[in-house]
């Protein structure tokens, strides 16, 4: 990756970094290896050596290839999308829609879809839980919330962290990261927490985004202090607030770090194999935890 100091003629941000030529005011230490213009994480396209800007990739300048033979790619090898936040918007919409249903239907809806291992639910008049074969709860619990503050905090975090990460990874890889991190958080909660203690929220998936963001920033040699400070604050709340399912946060964070590392550090020649294989291993570990807990409860 070629990094050069900005010239006096280039616009710079408040920290003295050159500004991305497509997003003025957004400081970056990355330059296109072809035209040497500064590019931010939303614009950089992974190349065999370093990163390139979308315009150079689109025109295929200096390669002798037609524009269609050189499609723009993200740092993780994903396709560059016209709307880099589309999936983040959809995920926020799904969470908000589920919360509106919770408000309109009441606790009966929440009790049917939150995460619970095995317990008698008076409202339903039966023993319910993942151990009873209701494996869907591992997924549906990721889209439910316990109140206005809970969903507001999670959705703001998803917007701030998810958007830039979606742009850096590409939609398919970003969605895999989100869902697998959420599942890992649900599985660890199911494994460790009390079987009759309900849990819900998107926090496991969001902590996975935190972990992947830290890996990405490290990969790009960005200042790690802001994301580390934010992560520490969230972990303090995780272990200091009695009603928070810390298991979901830890499970999601670990999965996010593992998957994020595979996404941004996989060698180009084996990128798909490494990324898919890592996601499969995380999914296998998630299923293993759920099976082990189910056996112990039944």
Could you tell me the domains of the chain?
Answer: 1-73 (no CATH), 86-297 (1.20.1540.10)
Catalytic (active site) residue 203? yes
Q: Is the pLDDT of residue 124 over 80?
A: no
Indicate the SS3 state at residue 126: strand
d(CA 279, CA 214): 18
- Given the residues 65, 145, 203, 243, the one annotated as active site: 203
Q: pLDDT digits over 167-196, tens only?
A: 889 899 999 999 999 999 999 999 998 888
- 174, 176, 178, 184: CA torsion to nearest 10: -150
d(CA 110, CA 104): 11
Are 116 and 129 in contact by the 8 Å Cβ rule? The answer is yes
- Given the residues 145, 186, 199, 249, the one annotated as active site: 249
What would the mean pLDDT of 213-225 be, rounded to a whole number? 84
Residue closest to 247 by CA, chosen among 294, 190, 178, 201: 190
What would the mean pLDDT of 133-145 be, rounded to a whole number? 95
What length does the chain have? 298
Catalytic (active site) residue 249? yes
């Amino acid at each position: 990756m070629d990094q050069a100091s900005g010239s006096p003629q280039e616009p710079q941000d408040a920290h003295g970094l050159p500004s991305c030529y497509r997003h003025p005011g957004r400081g970056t230490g990355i330059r296109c290896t072809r035209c040497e213009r500064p590019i931010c994480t939303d614009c950089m396209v992974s190349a065999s050596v370093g990163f390139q800007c979308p315009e150079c990739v689109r025109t295929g300048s200096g390669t002798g290839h037609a524009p269609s033979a050189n499609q723009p790619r993200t740092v993780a090898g994903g396709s560059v999308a016209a709307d880099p936040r589309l999936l983040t918007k959809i995920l926020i919409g799904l969470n908000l829609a589920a919360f509106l249903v919770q408000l309109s239907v009441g606790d009966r809806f929440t009790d049917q879809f939150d995460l619970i291992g095995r317990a008698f639910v008076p409202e339903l008049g039966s023993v319910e839980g993942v151990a009873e074969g209701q494996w869907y709860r591992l997924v549906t619990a990721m889209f439910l919330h316990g109140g206005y503050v809970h969903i507001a905090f999670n959705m703001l975090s998803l917007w701030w962290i998810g958007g830039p990460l979606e742009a850096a990874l590409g939609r398919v890889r970003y969605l895999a990261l989100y869902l697998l991190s959420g599942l890992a958080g649900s599985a660890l909660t199911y494994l460790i927490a009390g079987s009759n203690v309900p849990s819900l929220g998107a926090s496991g998936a969001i902590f996975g985004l935190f972990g992947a963001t830290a890996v990405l920033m490290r990969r790009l040699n960005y200042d790690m202090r802001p994301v580390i400070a934010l992560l520490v604050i969230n972990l303090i709340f995780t272990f200091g607030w009695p009603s928070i399912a810390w298991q979901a946060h830890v499970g999601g964070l670990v999965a996010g770090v593992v998957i994020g590392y595979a996404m941004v550090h996989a060698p180009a020649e084996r990128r798909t194999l490494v990324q898919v294989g890592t996601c499969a291993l995380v999914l296998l570990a998630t299923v293993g935890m759920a099976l082990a807990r189910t056996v112990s409860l039944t």
